[in-house]
């Protein structure tokens, strides 16, 4: 059920990153009933579909030739397609079974959407890079409304390119290096609050990632608004996981209200900045946070800015928190790797001659073992199991037709777990990254026009936290340690309950 409700959210507009509750059973039954009724109606439409749009009759939009055939696979029941097969199990099993039966490109139907799933590096490159303009990002309308329809994820073309320039300006190494002391302060504050406690690793990492995201968006000065903003965001998150019924009393309705409130808070922060700019005669671009970048010369409207600020919080928080949670799990389960990471980090402290803070950019560039642990965690955990696109016109790939309007899903997890790309793929072995992976076999941050612009910041905040965690603390898993759930990002079961204690080693560093 956990798999089901959260992966389903991706199709019908439920939970974004990290919404943690699952759909209620009753909601599921109601949905199932509705789907069965719809199925009957759709039987007819399927017949029409089969007759009118025979695969052989569709022209390939790129070359004008007749594309041969749809990829192999089963479209399942009318409307329902293979929805229940996908949702009643770990989605990886669904993908793996079909991949071994049909190959690296196959068709299916999920909740009324005809889909083509691709799991070869070449096909991922085709969809995300070489023919990216033919595959637009696609999200349920309710998700767009809640995040903000002008947010970067939903865009293509010129407006998207402009947003990317502005986002990258704030998250490039040059912009984030100055933030290391502030990130470190946040990391140390969180770590000391965990000391001697049983914590839910995922929930705590969410707070850490949220604080770093807010710092990189608003800088340090806007902290007075941040508490209020966080509260609204949490309400938004709760409603995001609900069915999109927008009337008073529903979680969705409350979330939409919180969304409007978030827009107002961002507007207040902007007007304060404008006032401050007028008084101090200094330009916004003197600041190197995301808001300054958005308010710079290529000015966006206030609404566009709010949509994108909320969008970036959404993209930054639960992704990074999931990865950090997996890192804690894999390190706890692999003591020799934890030992190697700890030694690498202790060595840095010895070289620097002090324990508390003051990491600099070049320190973070000399942590090769820790970096490989992050890389390998991103591969094994593959927190984004897949991404979505929609074909804007009919396209031919390797003789197969991808019809206009169909969803196309590059399956990152399958690519990362293929023995052809990564021998002994289930093994957690960071040393495999001593050699760079082949192109398009490693896509934890996606690739092409929509590739993650926050990846450097994500890596930086993970390195800073791991530096202090491994050199000053020890942790042990307090649950069974096994199992996976999707919220919708892959996550250790129950968010990984752990116990954290101060390490005895700190004294032995002799500094």
Cite the annotated binding site for heme by residue number.
Answer: 452
Q: Are the beta carbons of 104 and 72 closer than 8 angstroms?
A: no
Q: Contact letters (x/-) for ligand HEM, 375-394, by CB under 6 A?
A: --------xx--x-------
Q: What tokens appear for 110 in the block?
A: 């999920």
Closest separation between CB of residue 462 and ligand HEM, Å?
Answer: 7
Name the segment binding ligand HEM (CB under 6 A); options: 233-241, 362-370, 417-425, 453-461.
453-461
Q: Measured between alpha carbons, how far apart are the two ends of the chain, in Å?
A: 52
Radius of gyration of the chain (CA): 24
Q: How far is the CB of 381 from ligand HEM (least distance, A)?
A: 9
Query: Which is closer to ligand HEM, CB of 79 or CB of 386?
Result: 386
Q: How far is the CB of 69 from ligand HEM (least distance, A)?
A: 27
Q: Which of 8, 10, 19, 167 forms a contact with ligand HEM (CB under 6 A)? A: 167
Question: 167 and 150 in contact (C-beta within 8 Å)?
Answer: no
Residue with smaller CB distance to ligand HEM, 70 or 236: 236
One symbol per residue from 317 to 346: x for binding ligand HEM (CB under 6 A), - otherwise; what is it? --xx--x-----------------------
Of the pair 191, 210, the CB lying nearest ligand HEM is at 210
Identify whether the C-beta of residue 410 lies closer than 8 Å to the C-beta of residue 127. yes
Q: How far is the CB of 443 from ligand HEM (least distance, A)?
A: 7
* 127-156 binders of ligand HEM (CB under 6 A): 152-153
Is residue 330 a contact partner of residue 337, using CB atoms and an 8 Å limit?
yes
Please, which residue, 23 or 395, has the CB nearer to ligand HEM? 395
- Residue 71 interacts with ligand HEM (CB under 6 A): yes or no: no
Cβ contacts of 207 within 8 Å, gap of 6 or more? 190
Least Å from the CB of residue 151 to ligand HEM? 8
Q: Which of 376, 346, 385, 351 is nearest to 462 (CA)?
A: 376
Q: What gap in Å lies between CA 310 and CA 303, rounded to an integer?
A: 11
Q: How far is the CB of 149 from ligand HEM (least distance, A)?
A: 14
What are 334-341's contacts with CB under 8 Å, separation 24+?
334/428, 337/373, 337/428, 337/430, 338/470, 340/369, 341/369, 341/370, 341/373, 341/466, 341/470
Closer residue to ligand HEM, CB minimum distance, 258 or 315: 315
- Tracing tokens 């080693």 back to the chain, one arrives at 505
Q: Least CB distance from residue 389 to ligand HEM, whole Å?
A: 7
User: Contact letters (x/-) for ligand HEM, 298-317, by CB under 6 A?
Assistant: --------------x--xx-
Nearer to ligand HEM, 454 or 492 (CB): 454
Provide the Cα torsion 259, 261, 264, 265; round to 10°. Answer: -100
Q: Which of 14, 454, 495, 497 touches ligand HEM (CB under 6 A)? A: 454
Closest contact distance (angstroms) between CB of 295 and ligand HEM is: 17
Q: Between residues 70 and 395, which has the closer beta carbon with respect to ligand HEM? A: 395
Which of 167, 180 has the CB closer to ligand HEM?
167
- Between residue 423 and residue 452, which ones bind ligand HEM under the rule CB under 6 A? 444-446, 450-452
Gap between the Cα atoms of 214 and 316, Å rounded: 10
Write out 275-334 in H/E/C secondary structure.
Answer: HHHHHHCCCHHHCCCHHHHHCCCCCCCHHHHHHHHHHHHHHHHHHHHHHHHHHHHHHHHC
The CB-side HSE value for 428 (13 A sphere, CA atoms) comes to 20
Per the CB < 8 A criterion, the answer to whether 404 and 391 are in contact is yes
| Residue 215 touches ligand HEM, criterion: CB under 6 A | no
Element (H, E) at 110: strand 105-110
The least CB distance from residue 388 to ligand HEM, in Å, is 7
| 474-493 residues near ligand HEM, rule: CB under 6 A | none
- At its nearest, how many Å lie between ligand HEM and the CB of residue 196? 28
How many Cβ atoms sit within 10 Å of the Cβ of residue 427?
11
Of 171, 218, 330, 406, the residue at the interface with ligand HEM (CB under 6 A) is 171
Cα–Cα distance list, 157 to 128, 133, 135, 410 (Å): 14, 8, 12, 21
Q: Would you say 67 or 371 has its CB closer to ligand HEM?
A: 371
What is the CA angle 289-217-444, rounded to 5? 105
Question: Counting contacts by CB under 6 A, is residue 453 touching ligand HEM?
Answer: yes
Which one among 46, 131, 164, 257 touches ligand HEM, defined by CB under 6 A? Answer: 164
For ligand HEM, the closer of residues 167 and 328 by Cβ is: 167
Tell me the site size for ligand HEM, rule CB under 6 A: 26
- x-or-dash pattern for ligand HEM, window 194-213, by CB under 6 A? -------------------x
Q: Which two tokens stand for residue 496?
A: 């990984």
Residues annotated within the binding site are 452
Query: In the bound complex, what is the minimum distance in angstroms from residue 142's beta carbon to ligand HEM?
Result: 18
Q: What angle in degrees, to the nearest 10, is found between the helix axes of 335-352 and 302-333?
A: 110
How many C-beta atoms surround the C-beta of residue 444 within 10 A? 21
Query: Which residues contribute to the site for ligand HEM (CB under 6 A)?
Result: 152-153, 164, 167, 171, 213, 216, 312, 315-316, 319-320, 323, 383-384, 387, 444-446, 450-454, 457-458
């Amino acid at each position: 059920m956990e798999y089901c409700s959260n992966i389903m959210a991706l199709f019908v507009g439920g939970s974004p990153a990290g919404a943690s509750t699952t759909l209620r059973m009753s909601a599921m039954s109601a949905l199932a009933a509705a789907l069965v009724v719809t199925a009957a109606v759709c039987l007819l439409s399927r017949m029409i579909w089969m007759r009118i749009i025979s695969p052989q009759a569709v022209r390939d939009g790129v070359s004008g030739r007749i594309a041969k055939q749809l990829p192999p696979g089963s479209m399942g029941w009318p409307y329902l397609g293979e929805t229940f097969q996908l949702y009643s199990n770990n989605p990886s099993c669904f993908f793996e079974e079909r991949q071994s039966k049909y190959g690296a490109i196959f068709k299916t139907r999920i909740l009324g959407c005809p889909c083509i799933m691709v799991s070869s590096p070449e096909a991922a490159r085709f969809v995300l890079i070489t023919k990216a303009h033919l595959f637009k990002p696609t999200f349920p309308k309710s998700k767009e409304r809640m995040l903000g329809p002008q947010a970067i994820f939903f865009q293509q073309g010129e407006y998207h390119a402009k947003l990317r320039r502005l986002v990258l300006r704030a998250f490039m190494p040059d912009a984030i290096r100055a933030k290391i002391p502030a990130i470190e302060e946040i990391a140390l504050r969180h770590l000391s609050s965990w000391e001697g406690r049983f914590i839910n690793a995922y929930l705590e990492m969410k707070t850490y990632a949220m604080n770093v995201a807010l710092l990189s968006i608003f800088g340090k000065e806007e902290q007075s608004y941040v508490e209020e903003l966080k509260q609204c965001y949490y309400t938004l998150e709760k409603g995001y996981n609900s069915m999109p019924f927008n009337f008073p009393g529903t979680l969705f309705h409350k979330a939409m209200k919180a969304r409007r409130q978030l827009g107002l808070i961002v507007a207040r922060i902007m007007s304060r900045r404008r006032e401050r700019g007028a008084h101090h005669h200094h330009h916004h671009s003197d600041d190197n946070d995301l808001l300054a970048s958005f308010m710079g010369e290529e000015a966006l409207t206030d609404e566009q800015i709010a949509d994108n600020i909320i969008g970036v919080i959404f993209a930054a928080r639960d992704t990074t928190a999931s990865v950090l949670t997996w890192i804690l799990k894999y390190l706890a389960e692999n003591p020799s790797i934890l030992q190697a990471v700890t030694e690498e980090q202790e060595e840095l402290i010895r070289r620097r001659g002090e324990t508390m803070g003051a990491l600099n950019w070049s320190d973070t560039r000399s942590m090769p073992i820790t970096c490989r642990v992050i890389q390998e965690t991103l591969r094994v955990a593959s927190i984004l199991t897949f991404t979505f696109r929609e074909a804007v016109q009919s396209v031919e790939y390797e003789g197969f037709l991808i019809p206009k309007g169909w969803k196309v899903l590059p399956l990152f997890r399958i690519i990362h777990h293929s023995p052809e790309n990564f021998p002994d793929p289930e093994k957690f072995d960071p040393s495999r990254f001593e050699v760079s992976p082949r192109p398009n076999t490693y896509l934890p941050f996606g690739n092409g026009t929509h590739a993650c612009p926050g990846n450097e910041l994500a890596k930086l905040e993970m390195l800073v936290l791991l530096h202090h965690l491994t050199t000053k603390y020890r942790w042990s898993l307090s649950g069974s340690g096994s199992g996976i759930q999707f919220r919708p990002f892959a996550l250790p079961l129950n968010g990984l309950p752990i116990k954290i204690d101060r390490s005895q080693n700190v004294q032995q560093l002799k500094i």
